[in-house]
Amino acid sequence: MKRYLLAIVALIGIYWISLTPAFATTYYGPSFSTPVAVPPGSPIDIVLSTASGSTIVPLPQGSSPPCSGTCSYPQQAWTTPSACFVSVHEVTVTDPNGNEFMLGSNITSGLYWPAAFGGSGSGTSVPPQAPALNFTVGDTFTLPFGTGPEGYMFSSVLGSPYNTNPEGPYYWWIAVVAPGNPNGYTKGARLDQTNINPTTTHGTYTVNIEGVVACPGGESGFTDILFFDAGIIVTTPEFGVGMAAATVVGLVGLLVLRKKMPISLNRTSKM
């Protein structure tokens, strides 16, 4: 009888353990993604969204190593989709030479950074800067960096007072010129008003996204304001992705042909 009782207790324990993952807490947080590599001259699509998971990932700071591809950061304070949101107050891209491009409005570079989130501004948005990019679960905003027309607009699940949908327009500006100005850029120029294609330089581009995870509530208006400074690297290969693949195929073909060459010559000499 004791053996049967112990067996039943053991089965109940195993069953309870098997159910435990189903009750695990889901955490939400910001998610940023770019291509790992793009051909020279192609746009770099920067995607701002959210992600969820059962594991908490610390928010990146300025000293954190940059990531590549998709980078997601579920947070302990964000346990329901509507509990928090992301407010991005700076987006920059630095090219391999050191030129820096900054997202801004149609008038000037820079996004608005309210005092409530550690910035110097009051209210929710003050021109001439562009509004901060505020988004939450259910939002995805693709921000192309490259040549061509700009004036990107963004609509969010978030409404007032955090967003006036749609937000924008957003434009890229040349904020910093590399030492020696190897590309001949003009600091302060709006990218779409130039003939510049900013992704033609071969090497590594660094996308930097700075902002906070904000959780409304409490007497002060927010229960949590969590700062992040995320870096993502994108590579522009010397020959481009397609050209590199074609080069590899060509080299393999030459090696195969070279191995077959002695046989063909021998056969010819016998004739």
Residue 269: what pLDDT?
Answer: 40
Average pLDDT, the chain: 84
Per-residue pLDDT, 110: 94
Query: 84-96 pLDDT, tens per residue?
Result: 999 999 999 999 9
| Local confidence band at 266 (pLDDT 50, 70, 90 cut-offs) | very low
Band the pLDDT of 120: cuts 50, 70, 90.
confident
**Residue 246, pLDDT above cutoff 80:** no
Q: Is the pLDDT of residue 5 over 90?
A: no
* Site of tokens 């947070």: 75
- Percent of the chain residues topping a pLDDT of 70: 77
Residue that wins the pLDDT comparison between 15 and 85: 85
Length reported for the chain: 271
What CA–CA distances, in Å, run from 137 to 71, 113, 141?
A: 16, 21, 12
Q: Please say whether the beta carbons of 104 and 91 come within 8 A.
A: no
- Domain segments of the chain as ranges: 25-239
Q: What is the dihedral of CA 3, 8, 13, 14, to 10 degrees?
A: 100
**DSSP string of 19-88, one letter each residue:** HGGGGPPPEEEEEEE--SB--TT--EEEEEEEEEESS--PPP-TTSPPB-SEEE--BTT--STTS-EEEE
The answer on pLDDT for 41 being more than 60 is: yes
Does position 123 have pLDDT exceeding 70, yes or no? no
The stretch 214-220 carries a mean pLDDT of 88
Instruction: Match 């107050």 to its residue by tokens.
Output: 89
Contact of 148 with 199, CB cutoff 8 Å:
no
Distance in angstroms (rounded) separating the CA atoms of residues 139 and 131: 16
Cis peptide before 66 (omega within 30 of 0): no
pTM of the model: 0.80
What amino acid occupies position 171? Y
When pLDDT is cut at 50, 70 and 90, the band that residue 24 belongs to is: confident
Least confident of 64-73, 206-215, 241-250: 241-250
**Per-residue model confidence (pLDDT) at position 219:** 79
CA distance 61 to 179: 26
Helices and strands in the chain: count of H runs, count of E runs: 2, 11
Given pLDDT bands bounded at 50, 70 and 90, which one contains residue 121? low
